[in-house]
Amino acid sequence: MPITLYDLAGADPALRFSPYCWRTRLALAHKGLAVEAVAWRMTEKDRIAFSGQGRVPVLVDGEKALCDSWAIADYLDEAYPDRASLFGGSAGRAHARFINGWADEILNPGIARLVLTDIASVLDAKDRAYFRQTREQRFGLPLEQVVAGREERVVTWRAQLAPVRNVLARQPWLGGAAPDYADYILLGSLQWPRCVSRFALLEEDDPVAEWQRRGLALFDGLLGKAKRV
Amino acid sequence: MPITLYDLAGADPALRFSPYCWRTRLALAHKGLAVEAVAWRMTEKDRIAFSGQGRVPVLVDGEKALCDSWAIADYLDEAYPDRASLFGGSAGRAHARFINGWADEILNPGIARLVLTDIASVLDAKDRAYFRQTREQRFGLPLEQVVAGREERVVTWRAQLAPVRNVLARQPWLGGAAPDYADYILLGSLQWPRCVSRFALLEEDDPVAEWQRRGLALFDGLLGKAKRV
């Protein structure tokens, strides 16, 4: 039985854009595990109720059902120890937690403020109403006001990537000589706006953009060939 | 022959406060290596000219002379492989690069903007003139203007520690179950304002402050017993 991933989709079921689901897609590819990534919409809470919560990624591997991208990566390294490691051992895992926390707490909220309206526009009607209501409550503003002035604000957002540039000046991947889960965290974050928006987050000559282009080619172009708006 | 560290000192030679030298002090303690940490002043470039550059930490171990805290940590793990590892292997090292980059690019510049005047006030007369001139050139403002409004700005600075809190909610140290070089990077950063200033960067009930208190006790109180203003 293949592994199943419940994967956030837009009105177009081929459009997949959740940063957290992309982390899992990349982790599965790194482990060389086949997956059936089934389209799932934000309001289809009943379809993943078996996981005990209402967000994706949700992974089903035989009898096991898991949620949360970090817990799924942990599971994959433990359940498939003979395949390439995602974390490279306990210190690699411990330190990757920081990169995961930085992406979740700093990077992703900043991306949301740049592309919220673009996300809304790719959703089907029911999800769009749900998304607008929950996000406007979270940000305390209409989505259009949150996103306003993004051409100027993106400069500040880019400055927050300084630690990534610092690393890439010294090694080709966040994982060192080869990509690992640390790279997939950040590639997942950048795949999110890449799929839903034509707004350019990175300048072409940014070392982070150069690294992203190499990431797009990984696993036979898993990210690079993905559907975009 | 013991290892020698050229360690930035204030007018009071017992006051040691460089975040980068503290990284090295903690790394040496982790490896169980004795060190003679000799007081060095910013303007004593001639005393470390043998290292090929003008900043500390500079470490001398027998015939070897090294500069740059990261390169020194690398050297210690390679030269003393039988002692406790600082990085926990190649992935641990690769991912710690990000934490190091984050501290250097985001955290430390923010700390400087909060305590520049306090740093100046602990230096001897010659260093103080040098420090004021070089830092006012770097920031494009008198030190007093850079530091102005710190009571308000520290709130923004604290928010940048969100990734650390995210990690500490899930594991006791950045290194996982036990402290490693990832922790020493951040403990070094926080030791810097702790030694030169009475300005409170962290709120007492911040999980980062709780972690720092545990860090102050490491290695028989290496950080906790250090001289402060």
A182 touches chain B (CB under 8 A): yes
Q: CA of B110, closest CA in chain A: separation in Å?
A: 13
pTM over 0.95: yes
- Indicate whether B1 pLDDT > 80: no
Mutate one of B30, B86, B93, B98 to test the A interface: name it (highest A CB count within 10 A): B98
The answer to whether the Cβ–Cβ distance between A166 and B100 falls below 8 Å is yes
In 3-state terms, what secondary structure has residue A64? strand
- Indicate whether A117 pLDDT > 90: yes
CB A19 within 8 A of CB A110: no
| A171 CB neighbour count, 10 Å cutoff | 14
pLDDT for position A187: 98
* Integer Cα distance of A21 and A210 in angstroms: 23
Predicted complex: ipTM over 0.95: yes
- Which of B98, B105, B182 is facing A182, going by the closest CB pair? B98
Q: Within 13 A of A160's CA, how many CA atoms are on the CB side?
A: 20
Q: Which of A175, A85, A100, A76 is nearest to B92 (CA)?
A: A175
* Integer Cα distance of B10 and B41 in angstroms: 7
Tell me what the mean pLDDT of segment B153-170 comes to.
98
pLDDT for position A8: 98
pLDDT for position B48: 98
The answer to whether the Cβ–Cβ distance between B89 and A88 falls below 8 Å is yes
- Indicate whether B88 pLDDT > 80: yes
The answer to whether the Cβ–Cβ distance between A174 and B94 falls below 8 Å is yes
H helices of B32-124, in order, are: 69-79, 90-102, 108-122
* Integer Cα distance of B141 and B27 in angstroms: 35
The answer to whether the Cβ–Cβ distance between A90 and B95 falls below 8 Å is no
Largest CA distance in chain B: 49
Pairing of strands A35-40, A58-61: unpaired
- Which of B100, B163, B176 is facing A90, going by the closest CB pair? B176
pLDDT tens for each residue of A99-108: 999 999 999 9
% chain B with pLDDT above 90: 99
DSSP annotation string for B147-216: HTTHHHHHHHHHHTTHHHHHHHTT-SBTTBSS--HHHHHHHHHHHHHHHH-----S-TT-HHHHHHHHHH
B182 touches chain A (CB under 8 A): yes
- Indicate whether A1 pLDDT > 80: no
pLDDT tens for each residue of B101-130: 999 999 999 999 999 999 999 999 999 999
Mutate one of A70, A74, A97, A211 to test the B interface: name it (highest B CB count within 10 A): A97
Q: Which of B62, B23, B54, B58 is nearest to B39 (CA)?
A: B58
pLDDT for position B41: 98
pLDDT for position B38: 98
B71 touches chain A (CB under 8 A): no
Q: Please, what is the average pLDDT of chain B? A: 98
pLDDT tens for each residue of B4-24: 999 999 999 999 999 999 999
